[in-house]
Copies of this chain bind each other. A is one copy, B any other.
Amino acid sequence: MRIVITFLGPRYREGPFVPISSLDRDIESHLADKSVRYTSGRRLVVGALAKGGGPRSAAELHSDLHPRVPLSSLYRSLTVLQDAGVIVPHFSAHGITRYELAEWITGHHHHLVCLECGAVEDIDISPGMEARVRNLVDEMAGLVSFTPVSHTLEIEGRCSRCK
């Protein structure tokens, strides 16, 4: 799923923002429920994440958003948005954390990781298959009295381009 959130409203310090996508409105009310302010800086971060075709690192976001969102504010926004459940961290090599919009925004999906070219592709599956995944997860967690909250099924292999 590719989501683009565009801000038509006036710029930072020039007035209130006008959310144009229903998604942005969803995020707005989601944050309001948690009494977390949806400030201009946070909107810019969400917008940059929504534009991207995959998880983005703080450095990538900073180069996109520079100089409107300084690095320290960017990190703070990422923390706030993560705590509020709007974005989800994805940890990778070299201690780099990449973020993407939470699954309630983008939809639940899994990942195909190509061992050849390193590309990570989202894969959506049918509700039936997803139910089978969830059953397995619940059974596995039950074996050791672990309370599952979410799961990640990643398939490593060779993508169609690298075959």
Q: Please give the number of chain A residues whose Cβ is less than 8 angstroms from any Cβ of chain B in the complex.
A: 41
Q: How far is the CB of A152 from chain B (nearest CB, A)?
A: 5
Q: Interface centre among A115, A137, A148, A155, by most B CB within 10 Å? A: A155
Which of B89, B155, B160 is close to A145, meaning CB atoms less than 8 Å apart?
Answer: B160
Interface check A151, CB cutoff 8 A? yes
Q: Are A141 and B157 in contact (CB under 8 A)?
A: yes
Q: Are A152 and B152 in contact (CB under 8 A)?
A: yes
Bound-complex Cα distance A114 to B145 (A): 12
Q: Are B137 and A123 in contact (CB under 8 A)?
A: no
Q: How far is the CB of A158 from chain B (nearest CB, A)?
A: 4
Bound-complex Cα distance A108 to B159 (A): 22
Q: Are A149 and B141 in contact (CB under 8 A)?
A: no
Q: How far is the CB of A153 from chain B (nearest CB, A)?
A: 5
- Among A27-35, A44-52, A90-98, the one that faces the other chain is A90-98
Q: List 19 A-B contacts (CB under 8 A).
A: A91-B92, A95-B95, A95-B97, A112-B146, A115-B149, A123-B143, A129-B140, A132-B132, A137-B155, A140-B155, A141-B155, A146-B155, A147-B158, A147-B163, A149-B156, A151-B155, A151-B156, A152-B153, A153-B153
5 further A-B pairs in the complex, CB-CB below 8 A; given A89-B93, A141-B157, A152-B156: A114-B146, A115-B149, A146-B155, A146-B157, A148-B156
Interface residues of A (CB under 8 A from B): 89, 91-93, 95-97, 110, 112, 114-115, 121, 123, 125, 129, 132-133, 136-137, 139-141, 143-160, 163
